[in-house]
Amino acid sequence: MPEIPELQHVAKVLTAQLAGQAISGVDIQEPIVIRLPREDFEAGLLGARIRAVRRSGKFLLFETDRDSVMAVNPMLNGRFQWIDGPDGTPKAHARTCFTLRFEDGDTGLHADPPLGIRYIDERYLGKVYLADADELDQVPVLGEQGPDALDPALDQEAFLQRLKRHRGQVKNTLVNARFIAGIGNAYSDEILFQAGIHPFAKISGLDESRRIRLYEAIHETLNWASSIAAEQIGNRIDRKPREFLRVHRKGGRACPRCGHGISEVSPNRRVTSFCRPCQPE
């Protein structure tokens, strides 16, 4: 699923291209992902002007000049695709759920504004909401999540205090949005590899030095991955580069640190990748 490194770059690119653009068309192909009546979604967006797109955890929030927000939780496979965007218009995907079209003209902010964006979801698992800006806490998951993993207010002390409330396995804790938001299956594997912590270790078994190392590894990993993801995605916001990752989905390959074969297991049908020598139990 898209996580912090991809989503924060996508939000930046969407803002650069769409800020100031008015929505001139709303076409719904698969309403299953939209969590309000079709007519309310269309009326709420038609004519609205995009102010900015920002990321919150694993949500993309499209802020409009109506003080409303289109909140998109892409889940496993949701992504956006340009229509006549910076890199041309890719062929429409068969699993396009809805399309937003924009005024065909320069607002003075863009040299070549896109004509629109498509939201694609191969498994229709994503969820899209439209809410007043002051009622975002009513959006499911968004209103329940903890602080963003990169929130400056989540300093080391605040992180350690939150961690004290948890006793389960460390990977399960990292992907729990109520603990901290924005980390999913892929980057939890990368963070734990960076920290040298076994994914199935219990939080209660980590001493303070290893808890601090976990906090540091979150920032090291997300900052490292974000720069690479931004470079590889560029303006192609439908891309989700992952080949550069060191252990996730690299089962059987040599560990980049010690050369040992990377282990891969799938408890609860969720792939977990790790290096046994580098991340001992």
Interatomic CA distance for residues 83 and 175, integer angstroms: 33
Surface-to-core class of residue 215, CB atoms within 10 Å of its CB (0-12 exposed, 13-18 middle, 19+ buried):
buried
Q: What is the pLDDT of residues 199-246, one digit of tens each?
A: 999 999 999 999 999 999 999 999 999 999 999 999 999 999 999 999
Give the rounded distance of the alpha carbon of 30 from its chain centre.
Answer: 22
- pLDDT range class, residue 87, cuts 50, 70, 90: low
Q: What is the pLDDT of residues 168-201, one digit of tens each?
A: 999 999 999 999 999 999 999 999 999 999 999 9
DSSP conformation class of 90: P
pTM, two decimal places: 0.92
Surface-to-core class of residue 111, CB atoms within 10 Å of its CB (0-12 exposed, 13-18 middle, 19+ buried):
exposed
Q: Which SS3 state, helix, strand or coil, does residue 79 take?
A: strand
Exposure b/e, 70-109, CB count within 10 A at least 16 = b: bbbbbbebbbbbbbebbeeeeeebebbbbbbbbbeeeeee
Q: Write down all domains in the chain, each with its CATH number in brackets.
A: 4-138 (3.20.190.10), 156-274 (1.10.8.50)
The answer to whether residue 266 scores a pLDDT higher than 90 is yes
Q: What is the pLDDT of residues 26-36, one digit of tens each?
A: 999 999 999 99
Please provide the average confidence, as pLDDT, over all residues in the chain. 93
